[in-house]
Amino acid sequence: MKNVKLYDTTLRDGSQAEGVSYSVMDKIRIAEELDKVGIHFIEGGWPGSNPKDREFFLKISRSKLKNSQIAAFSMTRRPNISASEDSNLKALLKSNAQVITIVGKTWDFHVTEVLKSSLDENLSMIEDTISFLTKKGFLVFYDAEHFFDAYQANKDYALKTLDAACSGGAKAICLCDTNGGFLTSQIYSMTKEIKNKIADTEIDLGIHCHNDAGIAIANSLAAVEAGANIVQGTINGYGERCGNADLIPIIANLKIKLKTNCISGENLKQLTHLSHFVSEISNMRVKSEQPFVGDSAFAHKGGMHINAIMKNPLTYEHIDPLLVGNHRRILVSELGGKTGILLRAKDLSYDLSKEDPQTKKILKLVQSLEHKGYQFEAAEASFQILMKKALRKYKKFFDLEGFKVVIEKRSSDKITSEAVIKLKVKGVKEHTAAEGDGPVNALDNALRKALKDFYPTLAKMHLSDFKVRVLEEKAGTAAKVRVLIQSQDEKDIWNTIGVHENIIEASWQALVDSVEYKLLKDNQ
pLDDT in tens, 321-347: 999 998 887 765 555 566 667 766 776
pLDDT for position 391: 80
Q: How many residues does the chain have?
A: 524
Of the listed ranges 24-38, 162-176, 479-493, the one predicted with least confidence:
479-493
Q: Where are the beta strands (DSSP E) in 272-362?
A: 299-300, 329-330
Pairwise pLDDT comparison (106 vs 338), residue with the higher score: 106
Q: Are 7 and 41 in contact (CB under 8 A)?
A: yes
What CATH number does domain 398-454 carry, 3.30.470.20, 3.30.160.740, 3.30.1360.70, 3.40.50.2300? Answer: 3.30.160.740
Rounded CA gap, 280 and 325, in Å? Answer: 17
Average pLDDT over every residue of 487-516:
90
Q: Assess contact for 508 and 498: CB atoms under 8 A.
A: yes
Look at 238 and 307; give whichever has higher pLDDT.
238
- Give CA–CA dist 468/491, Å, rounded: 26
Q: Which of 202, 199, 134, 143 is nearest to 176 (CA)?
A: 143
Q: What is the pLDDT of residues 136-187, one digit of tens each?
A: 999 999 999 999 999 999 999 999 999 999 999 999 999 999 999 999 999 9
Asked whether the predicted pLDDT for residue 390 surpasses 60, the reply is yes
Question: Residues of the chain with pLDDT > 90: what percent?
Answer: 66
pLDDT in tens, 50-103: 889 999 999 999 888 999 999 999 999 999 999 999 999 999 999 999 999 999
pLDDT, residue 234, reads 98
Pick the range with the lowest mean pLDDT from 75-84, 364-373, 398-407, 445-454: 364-373
Report which of 331, 326, 333 is spatially closest to residue 343, judged by C-alpha positions: 331
Q: What is the mean pLDDT of residues 443-463?
A: 92
Structure confidence at residue 393 (pLDDT): 79
Reported confidence tier of residue 422, pLDDT bands at 50, 70, 90: very high
Structural Rg of the chain based on CA atoms: 28
Alpha-carbon distance 382 to 369, whole Å? 12
Residue 237: per-residue pLDDT: 97
Tell me how far apart the alpha carbons of residues 246 and 237 are, in angstroms, rounded to a whole number. Answer: 4
- Does the pLDDT of residue 477 top 60, yes or no? no
Q: Point out which residues pair with 487 in neighbouring strands.
A: 463, 494
Mean pLDDT of the chain: 90
pLDDT of residue 213: 98
CATH 3.20.20.70 fits domain 5-263: yes
| CA dist., res. 313 & res. 317, Å (int) | 6
Nearest C-alpha neighbor of 366 from the set 350, 355, 377: 377
- 271 and 321 Cβ atoms separated by less than 8 Å: no
What is the distance between the alpha carbons of residues 72 and 101, in angstroms, rounded to a whole number?
Answer: 6
CA 164 to chain centre: 37
Q: CA nearest 233: which of 242, 243, 225?
A: 243
Alpha helices in 285-427 (DSSP H): 303-311, 337-347, 357-372, 380-390
3-state helix, strand, coil in the chain (%, to 5): 45, 20, 35
Give dist(CA 50, CA 371) in Å, integer: 55
CB of 288 closer than 8 Å to CB of 248: no
Reference 138, options 78, 77, 232, 71; nearest CA is 71
Nearest to 134 by CA among 174, 99, 90: 99
What is the separation, in whole angstroms, between the first and last Cα of the chain? 48
Contact 175, 185 (CB under 8 A): no
Residue 231's pLDDT is what?
98
Residue 305 binned pLDDT confidence (cut-offs 50, 70, 90) = confident
Answer with the residue of higher pLDDT: 478 or 175.
175
| Closest listed residue to residue 424, CA positions, set 393, 445, 394, 403 | 403
Strands 399-409 and 329-330: unpaired
Q: Residues spanned by CATH 3.30.160.740 within the chain?
A: 398-454
Q: Greatest CA separation found in the chain?
A: 86
The winner for highest mean pLDDT among 90-94, 190-194, 310-314, 495-499 is 190-194
Contact 235, 204 (CB under 8 A): no
Q: CA-to-CA distance for 420 and 507, rounded, in angstroms?
A: 15
CA atoms of 170 and 22, how far apart (whole Å): 30
Task: Assess whether pLDDT exceeds 80 at residue 413.
Answer: no
Spatial separation of the C-alpha atoms in residues 410 and 407, rounded to whole Å: 10
Provide the pLDDT for residue 299.
85
CA distances, 356 to each of 339, 343, 350, 359 (Å): 12, 14, 12, 5
The model carries a pTM of 0.71
| 175 vs 172: CA distance, rounded Å | 10
* Location of each CATH 3.20.20.70 domain in the chain: 5-263
Is the predicted pLDDT of residue 473 greater than 60, yes or no? no
Strands (E), 112-243: 139-145, 172-177, 204-209, 230-233
pLDDT by residue (tens digit) across 186-222? Answer: 999 999 999 999 999 999 999 999 999 999 999 999 9
Nearest to 176 by CA among 201, 199, 202, 209: 209
Residue 165, helix vs strand vs coil: helix
